[in-house]
Chain A
Amino acid sequence: MNQARHLSLALGAVAAVLFAVGCQDAASPPGNITAGVTPPPKGGGPCANFRLTGGGRVDQRDHLGYAKSTPESHDFATFGFQARPSSKCPPTDGSGNLEWNEHNPAEFGGGFAFHGRVTFFTTPTDETAADGRCGRFGGFGRLNTRNNGTLEDVSFEVNHACDVAEPGVGNDHIKITIGTVYTRHGILSGGNIQQHRLTGNN
Chain B
Amino acid sequence: MTTKFLVALTLLAGAVQAQTVTGKAFGTYVNAPGVTSQSPIATLPSTGGMATGQADAFGVAGAVDAQALNAVTTGVADNKKSGAQSTSELEQVSAAGGAITADVVTAVATAYFGQFTGGSDGEGSGFANLVVNGQTITTEVAPNTQVDLPGVGYAILNEQLQTGNGLTSYGITVNMIHVVLQDALGLTTGEIIIGSASSSVAR
Counting chain A CB atoms within 10 Å of each CB, the highest count among B76, B106, B125 belongs to: B76
Q: Which of A72, A96, A189, A191 contacts B85 (CB 8 A)?
A: A191
Q: How many Å from the CB of B127 to the closest CB on chain A? A: 6
A contact residues, range: 35 or more
Of A32-40, A73-81, A124-132, A174-182, which stretch is located at the interface? A73-81
State whether the Cβ of B83 lies closer than 8 Å to any Cβ in chain A: yes
The answer to whether B76 touches A51 (Cβ under 8 A) is yes
Pick from A71, A82, A199, A200: contact of B129, CB under 8 Å: A71
| Residue of A whose beta carbon sits closest to that of B83 | A194
A53, A68, A190: the one within 8 Å of B74 (CB): A53
Within 8 A of A (CB), among B76-125: 76, 78, 80-83, 85-87, 89, 103-104, 106, 108, 110, 112-114, 117-119, 121-125
Instruction: Find out whether the CB atom of B128 lies under 8 angstroms from the CB atom of A96.
Output: no
Which residues of B are at the interface with A, using a C-beta cutoff of 8 A? 45, 47-50, 52, 68, 70, 72-76, 78, 80-83, 85-87, 89, 103-104, 106, 108, 110, 112-114, 117-119, 121-130, 138, 140
- Some 16 contacts from A to B, beta carbons below 8 A apart, are A53-B75, A74-B104, A78-B89, A79-B72, A80-B85, A97-B50, A97-B52, A113-B70, A166-B81, A166-B119, A167-B121, A191-B87, A191-B124, A192-B85, A192-B110, A192-B112
